[in-house]
Amino acid sequence: MSDQTSQSAPKSMFARAWDSDFAYNFRRTPVAVGSAFVVALLVLSAIFAPLIAPHNPFDPASLDLMNGFTAPMAANEFTGDVFWLGTDDQGRDVFSTILYGMRISLFVGFSAVLFAMVLGITLGLIAGYVGGWIETIIMRAADVQLTFPAILVAMLIFGVAKGITPIEHQDKMAIWVLILAIGLSDWVQFARVVRGATLVEKDKEYVQAARMIGRGKGIIMLRHILPNVLSPVLVIATISLALAIIAEATLSFLGVGAPPTQPSLGTLIRIGQGFLFSGEWWIILFPSVTLLSLALSVNLLGDWLRDALNPRLQ
Amino acid sequence: MKRALSILAVASAMGGPVLAEEFTWAGTTDPQTLDPHAVNSAPVLGFLNNVYEGLVRRGKDMSIEPALATSWEPIGNGKGWRFLLREGVTFHDGSSFDAEDVLFSYQRASNEGSDTRSWFSPVSDVKVVDAYTVDILTTAPNPIFPDSIANWMMVDKGWAEANESALPDKENGNYATLNANGTGAFMVSEREPGLRTELVPHAGWWGEVEHNITRAEFTPVQNPATAVAALLSGDVDMINPVPIQDAERLAGSGDVQVIRGIEARVIMLGMAQESDVLKYGDDEGKPNPFKDARVRAAVSHAVNVPAILKTIMRGNAEPASQLVSPAMRGYSNANADRPVFDQAKAKALLAEAGYPDGFSFGLKCPNNRYLNDEAVCQAVTSMLAQVGMVAQLDAMPVQNYWPELRADNYDMYLLGWSPGTFDAEHPIRFLASTPNKEKKLGSWNFAGYSNARIDALLPMIQSEIDATKRQDMLDEAAKIMQDETAYVPMYVQPLVWGTGKNISLTQRPDNFFILRWVSVN
């Protein structure tokens, strides 16, 4: 009896996913596996930074200035402490600071993309499905924004937001302002793709059928069209994530992003840049390598995703 | 076609005849204004010393020498000075300089809205005797008065009035903020605030020309690494400052030289002593602990100055115990020891003052004014946190920083002070006197430090002619400020300039860069 039950039972979700074409394709692409591994490693170590990091670089009371400028794996001449990847000018352990800095970079990156995605999908769906003057307004606004480089738009938004927040709250708000700025500079890609896909979908039979039985516009957009336009969005979102992480690093590098007491990867690179000439290479090298591997592997993953989801390439 | 054109343009730019001696230099701070009476800060006064001139000026060894006045003598039993003015001096616009301009510049510089007002606290009146003679009367005998006005620059009355700039406007600015018309060796030919300022020699200058510059350009470069790269690549001829961490490497390179000295500037922490409540941090709105001298003393023991000097300053700076450096006249040798770094003592003092668990507050800091200012503030933040004083650090560019301090938006702040007179009396007048607009005192005493004895000592120091008695009073003032921890002096800032090997110049300890001593070889 029991044998029969187990034979006829449906396969578990995991097993089904493992057998799918998608997963098969993934397993057969070494670049995808490699970059997914790097991304997972970095994301996990960022999430569990408080458990992994030997120091908490955000707690000023734990820093000892005499540890400043210790080279990697070398003992400090005053305190005798040893740090894997050395310390920066404030005596902060570079390894711990990278882990904590990556949390900010990833958090800002994910949140900004999520924000851009929600905004872009909403506007794209409305523009594509409703059409008319609403479409004209949304899409022309998108076109205008596209003519400016995204980083410039982000800086503009960041500057305006910083101008209207009172100075005493600026440090606390900096992260949210960054998310807002990067998100607002990035929604256009999503809106354009979703609008295009919606224009294709909206005259298909299933949508006509839904309209015929009297479903509302909102329901049709959300329940019928949206699921069918999501796969290109997923690809853009992945590539946008890499871009958002780089945008955050760029803004912080320029000194307008994360505050120096709570450094993100970009802030760390900015700090390290001041010591390039004087020979303290480790302060800039390790955060840069981390940023590079993070952005590169997310990008490679996005590339693979685009190919895998493109039916014409299969 | 387009590409061909641009290649051509580059080629002609590179191959064109190099016009005689052009000199470019870069610094971290752009002078906020070209108005010599609007802002009393070294980047402004140092830059404008090339454009404007005072009755007297400082030479290469910092000694006072004649400038627009040829000679001066005390009058009225020491209660005043008579200045004989140089004849035949013209402003850059061609108009001539005379006693009316001196009177006008006095009224302008000592006006309510002028940042240089404190310079004139000992002055009771200025009288024009004839076109080239001026009497400056003081309320009491003032032996060092001529030493104190080297940065009081002469503005042309007609020019200022014609351009609606009869009074300085440091908040909103006016014509004189962006334009200059002095008598100095150089005139401003182009000014783009924050980008570049171009100077050309003033053909009608009265003095003997030592430089060989035909055109000079100043560019503010905020990022120190960029400035170093520009110096190494020859894009600029001089940078001030050289980032301390790069000094060794630059000194060893073949094309540039590093010129070092000790600046007259003492870097200190100021603490709000007037405000009843804290303005920042988690304890915002709670009673202000810095009113208690024990808390201020705790700060002085919690800051590990030797560590700052060893790491951030890389051994290039000297610790400071008082508001002036040992090189200044009137330095108190009797009070040369600074509070030792002692966290246990700091904690004990805090507990005694009623803050056994510490408190949270706001620290304001410039990030482009002093050498490694932001790094020092970060280090101070972590050192104070170790004894329970948790600072919320807010670092900003200097153009936002001074307005914040003037608006009393801080609990603690970083300040550097270089006495314009090279005398210990100067910081007492500016930083330690109870702020008083009427008497033109304490104009940079943001902390609101106030001590009746110091206020009483100041006029006595100013008018004392006997050097020993004067020093005794300066010693007493230094001791009071140490006992009450009026400020926490940390270190004397080093001077590190970098130039190309083909440049010769003179480095003055007040960190003023004097263009007329530069020659390009």
CATH number, residue A231: 1.10.3720.10
Name which of A59, A89, A273 is nearest B375 (Cβ-Cβ). A89
- Phi, psi dihedral angles at B480 (to 5 degrees): -60, -45
Specify if B252 maps to a domain. Answer: no
Quick one: B30 and B173 in the same domain?
yes
Asked if A89 and B312 come within 8 Å (Cβ–Cβ), the reply is yes
A208 lies within 8 A of chain B by CB: no
CB–CB contact B385 A59 (8 Å): yes
Q: Determine whether the interchain pair B385/A65 forms a contact, defined as Cβ–Cβ distance below 8 Å.
A: no
- Which of A61, A171, A278 is the closest to B249 by Cβ? A278
In the numeric block, which tokens belong to residue A143?
A: 């076109």
The answer to whether residue B13 scores a pLDDT higher than 50 is no
Q: How far apart are CA B372 and CA B242, in angstroms?
A: 11
Query: What domain range includes position A114?
Result: 98-313
Q: Which residues of A touch B392 (CB under 8 A)?
A: 171
For range A113-126, the mean pLDDT? 95
**CB within 8 Å of B297: residues ≥ 6 apart:** B339, B349, B485
Phi, psi of B94 (to 5 degrees): 100, -15
pLDDT at site A255? 73
Inter-chain touch A78–B362, beta carbons under 8 Å: no
For the stretch A249-268, pLDDT in tens is: 998 888 777 776 778 888 88
Interface touch B304/A65, C-beta < 8 Å: yes
Q: Where is the domain boundary, B220, B237, B253?
A: B220
What crossing angle do the helices spanning A167-184 and A94-130 adopt, rounded to 10°?
50
Integer Cα distance of B49 and B188 in angstroms = 12
Q: Do A65 and B224 touch (CB under 8 A)?
A: no
- Asked if the Cβ–Cβ distance from A261 to B379 is below 8 Å, we say no
Put simply, the answer to whether B379 touches A90 (Cβ < 8 Å) is yes
- Shared domain for B480 and B331, answered yes or no, is yes
Which CATH number belongs to the domain containing residue B201 in this structure?
A: 3.40.190.10
Contacts of A167 in chain B (CB under 8 A): 394, 404, 409
Q: What is the dihedral of CA A20, A22, A24, A27, to 10 degrees?
A: -140
In a domain, B247, yes or no: no
Q: Does residue A172 lie in a domain region?
A: yes
B199 neighbors B191 (Cβ within 8 angstroms): no
Establish if B38 belongs to a structural domain.
Answer: yes
Residue of A nearest to B244 (CA): A278
Is A78's CB within 8 Å of B310's CB?
A: yes
Q: Which residue of A has its CA nearest to B246?
A: A278
Which chain B residues are Cβ-neighbours of A66 within 8 angstroms? 304, 307, 310-311
Q: What is the mean pLDDT of residues A302-311?
A: 84
Q: What angle do CA A285, A287, A289 make, to 5 degrees?
A: 65
- Provide the 3-class DSSP secondary structure of residue B80: strand
Residue B198 shares a structural domain with residue B146: yes
% chain A with pLDDT above 70: 93
pLDDT at B12 over 60: no
What is the structure's pLDDT at B5?
Answer: 42
Q: Residue B17: is its pLDDT beyond 70?
A: no
B272: helix, strand or coil:
coil
Greater confidence, A20 or B47?
B47
A90 near B CB under 8 A = yes
**Integer Cα distance of A255 and A178 in angstroms:** 12
pLDDT of residue B255 exceeding 90, the answer is no
* Interchain proximity B375–A63, CB inside 8 Å: no
Residues B65 and B135 in one domain: yes
pLDDT at B8: 41
Is B77 domain-assigned? yes
Distance between CA B29 and CA B265 in Å, rounded?
A: 16
Tell if the CB–CB gap between A65 and B223 is shorter than 8 Å.
no
Please report whether residue A8 resides in a domain. no
- ipTM value greater than 0.90: no
- Chain B residues touching A60 at Cβ < 8 A: 378, 381-382, 385, 390-391
Rounded Cα distance between A31 and A27, Å, is 10
- Min distance A29 CA to chain B CA atoms (Å): 43
Domain count, chain A: 1
What pLDDT score does A314 carry?
A: 54
Domain co-membership, B483 together with B361: yes
Same domain assignment for residues B270 and B322: yes
Q: How many CB atoms lie within 10 A of CB B112?
A: 9
Give the CATH number of the domain where residue B463 resides.
3.10.105.10
- In B, minimum Cα distance to A89 occurs at B312
User: According to the model, what pLDDT value does residue B195 have?
Assistant: 92
Query: Strand (E) positions, B372-441?
Result: 389-396, 412-417
pLDDT (tens digit, 9 = 90+) per residue, A260-301?
A: 677 888 888 988 888 887 888 999 999 999 999 999 999 999
* Per-chain mean pLDDT for chain B: 90
Whether residue B3 has pLDDT greater than 50: no
Contact assignment for A60 to B280 by CB distance below 8 Å: no
pLDDT confidence tier of residue B20, bands split at 50, 70 and 90: low
Q: Are residues B267 and B210 in the same domain?
A: no
Asked if A89 and B386 come within 8 Å (Cβ–Cβ), the reply is: no
Q: Evaluate whether residue A114 is within a structural domain.
A: yes
B176 and B298 part of one domain: no
Residue numbers of the domain that contains B490: 263-494
Beta bridge partners of B215: B22
Query: Does residue A23 have a pLDDT over 60?
Result: yes
Triad B214, B220, B226: Cα angle to 5°: 105
> For B1-5, B276-280, B325-329, B470-474, which range has the lowest pLDDT when averaged over its residues?
B1-5
Q: Tokens standing for B280?
A: 């920042």
CB-based contacts of B215, cutoff 8 Å, min separation 6: B19, B22, B23, B198, B199, B200
Pairing between β-strand B519-520 and β-strand B215-220 as defined by DSSP bridges: unpaired
- pLDDT reading at A150 higher than 90: no
- What is the bridge-based pairing of β-strands B519-520 and B503-504? antiparallel
What does residue B415 show for φ and ψ, rounded to 5 degrees?
-140, 140
Nearest CA in chain A to B279: A168
What pTM did the predictor assign? 0.80
B454 assigned to some structural domain: yes
**Minimal Cβ distance to A260: which of B225, B311, B378:** B378
- Mutation target vs B (from A261, A270, A284; most B CBs, 10 A cutoff): A261
Nearest Cα residue to B23 out of B285, B219, B307, B274 = B219
Number of domains in chain B: 2
Residue B207 within a domain: yes
Q: Are B511 and B521 in contact (CB under 8 A)?
A: no
Residue A8's pLDDT is 53
3-state secondary structure of B58: strand
If we measure between CA atoms, which residue out of B417, B353, B421, B418 comes closest to residue B387? B353
Give the model's pLDDT for residue B498. Answer: 93
Contact B409 A170 (CB under 8 A): no
Which of 217-246 (B) contact A at CB < 8 A? 223-225, 228, 243, 245-246
pLDDT for B16 equals 38
Q: What are the backbone angles phi and psi of residue B162, rounded to the nearest 5°? A: -65, -25
> What distance in Å separates the CA atoms of residue B469 and residue B484, rounded to the nearest whole number?
23
Chain B's closest residue to A270, CA to CA, is B223
Residue B36 lies in a domain: yes
State the best of B311, B368, B401, B406 to mutate against chain A, taking most chain A CBs within 10 Å. Answer: B311
* Interface residue A167 vs chain B (CB under 8 A): yes
pLDDT value at position A157? 84
Minimal Cα–Cα distance from B397 to chain A, Å? 11
Q: Which amino acid is at A233?
A: V
Residues of A with Cβ-Cβ distance to B373 under 8 angstroms: none
Whether residue B297 contacts residue B436, with contact meaning beta carbons closer than 8 Å, is answered with no
Task: Nearest by CB to A277, from B249, B394, B404: name it.
Answer: B249
Cβ–Cβ contact A137 with B under 8 A? no
Of residues B483, B489, B491, the one with CA closest to residue B297: B483
Instruction: Examine residue B225 and state whether it is found in any structural domain, yes or no.
Output: no
